[in-house]
Chain A
Amino acid sequence: MRNFYARIALLGALALSICALPALAQQMDDPRVGLGAGLFDAEEAIWNLSMLSTTVPPEAFVGVTNSDLAFKDHYAIQGNYNGVLIWDISDPAAPVLVKDYLCPASQSDVSVYEHLLFVSGEGFGGRLDCGTQGVDEQVSHDRLRGIRIFDISDIVNPEYVANVQTCRGSHTHSVLKDPDDDENVYVYVSGSAPVRPAEELPGCSGLSPDEDPESALFRIEVVKVPLADPAQAAIVSSPRIFEDLVAPPRHGPSPADIAAMEEARAAGKFVVTYAGQSIVLPDRYVEMIMGQWMAESGKEGEPTAADSTEFREALDGIFEAMVGAPDAEGEDDGPAPGPTQCHDITLYPEIGLAGGACEGYGLLLDISDPANPTRIDAVADSNFSYWHSATFSNDGSKILFTDEWGGGGGPKCRATDPMEWGANALFTLSEDGKMEFQSYFKLPAVQSSLENCVAHNGSLIPVPGRDLFIQSWYQGGISLMDWTDIKNPIEIAYHDRGPVNADQMSSGGSWSVYWYNGVIVSSEIARGLDIFQLEPSEYLSANEILASKTVKLDYLNAQGQPTYVWPVSFTLANAYLDQLERAAAFSAEGIARVRAGLHRAEAAEGDARSDILMRLAQMMSRSRDTEKASLLKETLEALAQQN
């Protein structure tokens, strides 16, 4: 056998079918099931959140799709297929529209950096002159497909300063600031549409790279934008990050797979682990290799229970010796079809990494040289249809990918849609850059066939010591996922509305939702701008919410991930203490003593305060969960030093 896939295929033939469609794990008794329809008056369900405001789009934009969000200072910038809306959200209970800039393009995904605003254009109707009449001709020099650049030094009067045309347009984009370069900013352009004719944009070729090395397929575009003169923005490289990409389309074990495997084990079946996959061996095959093993080990007669146990332990090794060790990646596979583009590339410059969601793959990229990103690792998953976006945990030890199965226009959260399809896949990320699958998460509430619903955009919420991800599910609403325990992600808050239209599916729901400086802002495709805040619950304490609000950002982009840093404060200490209480890391009396101590310390001054804090810090070594307690210990020590 030549390669890894061939071996996997052999295993597939040997293995029992463990891949039956997963059980329906969604909850039917959820308050979100059966909400009444309506555009601005749909029934709503909300849990552990409160809605601060919901603001309908202005007249020139209502009835046209609202898309992604970016944030700068106290402004939320909302893309719309008709242009850009700029909201002053300094009072989140009453956002004020300060500018509606009519300049149609789909999807109008937006990003900011300093005084610049970037807007994606992909559809055929976008015009260089921002006209609303569209472009009818298939080849036209009036058409804009690429990146528009605005100067927003005066944010209420954006000035359209430049555009960069690309061969596949810009479905989305990511803005990267190189820490070593203060003069430029880089834009990675992701375009998933077919290639434009060369008559419209010279040099564009949709041929395969074998036929034309200049092909616009199998690459991303990197645009370099001089901050002092953005009109000079131009493509500087087209990295072929997919080259030689081959990864097996296997999938992580779903709950149904795990159940099937447990059942097989309980029934005394022999299970081998090969290339990270568990495979149940057919009885006849086991008999055969056990017979060989008995003979080679010099054992005679019927296998005893001890023989059987010994065989079971040796089985993985025997099996690997028979079929060969799995390759890291098949080197002799020749050119693989692979993805031709990414949908999203999430940049996390502080750790020098990016997560690329690229058709059938999730990629890990090294972005330390911004103009020349390189691939470090790739994962594929046969439960995943279309890799859409990525988010790292704050410490960079985990990464989640979303699957926008059906492109966001389909109702993929019905009771009949498997929980592994159109979901999130969660991976750990090792220090040497390997991603390892851990679990899936999907919106747990069943939605109707009138509601487009699938995993979509979101962001981390900076609750210290935990990994919380607020996420849009289109008409499934927004959902807060706690993935601190990566094998067992759970939902801890949500908001949902009934369908936009009671009679047939009409596109709507939350396009994207992001935490920004203490509030949660959602771009509702049909309804406008929704702003929420977290409410305390058994899953999240008031102190944890307060601690999240101590993190301040100057700006935020959908595909740019900032590192959250919590200033040392009593609020932070109280948040960690609440987490220790939830985890029962101390007895109730122990928690009460620390809490009382913290109050005394906060009221005290000088050495008295330091003494109390240092005594509390020493108590942390007596915790039942020293790892969690060490976070509080560090905070107490820092507070003592600050004093």
Chain B
Amino acid sequence: MQVSRILLCAALILIAAPGSLLAQNDKEALEALYWARQKEAMSRFTQADVDFMTGMIGHHAQALIMSRLAPTNDASASVQVLAARIINAQNDEIALMQSWLRDREQVVPQVLIEGLQLTIEGGGHHAHHMPGMLTQVQLEELAAARGQVFDRLFLTYMIQHHAGAVTMVEDLFAVDGAAQDEAAYKLASSIHVDQITEIARMQEMLDSLAQ
């Protein structure tokens, strides 16, 4: 097999020339090994990982819809900052999850947002059955709210939405063989810890409104 030949070749070269004294062709062999190993890592995944990525793309997309309302619906400054960061973070994570699926030759869901209408092309048709997802009625209620009413509703619904994402990660981690791949584990555990942190922050913001 090609990979093991490269491994052997690299090993022999390393014995001959350690450290920074590596000649150019030795580095080329190690580089070939690097990419071979990256590619090999992409073969270690389960259907649960694929379903998680596919689902979470749709889940994140709804957070974008919610957050994009903040500037137009007279959200307070602090809610606007929060919403801007959610947009930034979840956009990037959607791109990461799409790459993860593409790298593993899986169907890559595309996100289409028109107003409050979310369409996921490819793989995401169960989007609305995921934990924490807002119903269309809830979304419309949020879109109709303004000012402090919007703030309260946004925080309440985003906590619900984030809590759903946390559940999705915990469900993934409960599946045999899931999240063994470094990229999947890192992505899922980052989502888990970031959203738990953000829930705590939003709960405090909500408590401060509740008077």
Contact = CB atoms under 8 A, between A and B. Distances in A.
Given A8-B208, A19-B81, A337-B199, A410 B180 contact: no
A170 interface: no
B139 interface: no
Interface string A290-326: 0000000000000000000000000000000000000
Nearest to B185: A123
Nearest to A407: B190
A405 B25 CA distance: 38
Contact of A386 (B80, B148, B197, B209): B197
Contacts of A526: 34
B38 interface: yes
A134 interface: yes
Interface in B145-186: 148, 169-170, 173-180, 182-183, 185-186
Contacts, number: 184
B33 A411 contact: no
Interface in A328-380: 333, 336-341, 359-360, 380
B102 to A, nearest CB: 8
B192 interface: yes
Interface string A35-72: 00001110000000000011110110011110000000
Given A63-B37, A192-B193, A382 B82 contact: yes
Given A1-B211, A382-B201, A406 B80 contact: no
B117 interface: no
B110 interface: no
Contacts of B96: 409-410, 505
Given A360-B201, A406-B194, A504-B99, A95 B88 contact: no
B34 A136 contact: no
Interface stretch (B6-14, B55-63, B118-126, B129-137): B6-14
Interface string A389-416: 0000000000000000111111110000
B188 to A, nearest CB: 9
A361 B41 CA distance: 35
Interface residues of A, number: 78
Contacts of A56: 22, 27, 30
A59 B89 contact: no
Interface residues of B, number: 68
Contacts of A3: 211
B200 A359 contact: yes
Interface in B33-67: 33-38, 41, 44
B89 to A, nearest CB: 6
Nearest to A140: B176
Given A6-B208, A337-B203, A138 B193 contact: no
B200 A409 contact: no
B141 interface: no
A361 to B, nearest CB: 9
Contacts of A249: 78, 201, 204-205
A417 interface: yes
Interface in A121-170: 123-125, 134-138
Given A15-B77, A59-B33, A385 B85 contact: yes
B189 A193 contact: yes
Contact of B89 (A81, A410, A506): A410
A264 interface: no
B72 interface: no
A597 interface: no
A93 interface: yes
A63 B204 contact: no
A406 B190 contact: yes
B83 to A, nearest CB: 11
Contact of B80 (A17, A53, A338, A339): A17
Nearest to A41: B27
Interface in B67-126: 76-78, 80-82, 84-85, 88-89, 92-93, 96, 99
B145 to A, nearest CB: 15
Interface of A (DSSP majority class): loop
A94 B22 CA distance: 11
A54 B194 CA distance: 34
A246 B208 CA distance: 12
A39 B189 contact: no
Contact of A138 (B148, B174, B185): B174
Contact of B33 (A21, A62, A333): A62
A339 B177 CA distance: 29
Among A65, A94, A246, A249, residue most surrounded by chain B Cβ atoms (within 10 Å): A249
* Chain B interface SS verdict (over half): helix
A411 to B, nearest CB: 7
Contacts of B186: 407, 409
Contacts of B204: 5, 246, 248-249, 336-337
B81 to A, nearest CB: 6
A81 B37 CA distance: 13
Contacts of A64: 37
B49 to A, nearest CB: 12
Given A12-B77, A249-B201, A406-B190, A5 B208 contact: yes
B182 A65 contact: yes
Contact of A506 (B38, B92, B173, B194): B38
Nearest to B27: A40
Listed residue (A3, A56, A359, A417) with the most chain B CB atoms within 10 angstroms of its CB: A56
Contact of B20 (A15, A17, A55): A55
B180 A505 contact: no
Contacts of B170: 194
A604 interface: no
A106 B182 contact: yes
B34 A63 contact: yes
A9 B209 contact: yes
Contacts of A134: 44, 180
A538 B35 CA distance: 42
A96 interface: yes
A194 B169 contact: yes
Contact of A406 (B92, B179, B182, B205): B92
Interface of B: 7, 10-11, 14, 18-22, 27, 30-31, 33-38, 41, 44, 76-78, 80-82, 84-85, 88-89, 92-93, 96, 99, 148, 169-170, 173-180, 182-183, 185-187, 189-190, 192-194, 196-201, 203-205, 207-209, 211
20 contacts: A3-B211, A19-B78, A59-B11, A62-B34, A62-B37, A63-B35, A96-B19, A106-B182, A123-B182, A123-B185, A124-B185, A136-B180, A192-B193, A194-B169, A248-B204, A249-B204, A359-B200, A382-B81, A407-B190, A417-B88
Q: Which 10 A-B pairs have the closest CB atoms?
A: A63-B37, A407-B190, A5-B208, A19-B77, A337-B200, A6-B211, A359-B197, A9-B208, A136-B177, A63-B34
Given A96-B18, A421-B88, 15 more contacts: A3-B211, A40-B30, A59-B7, A63-B34, A63-B37, A138-B174, A197-B174, A248-B204, A248-B208, A333-B207, A359-B197, A407-B186, A407-B190, A410-B92, A526-B34
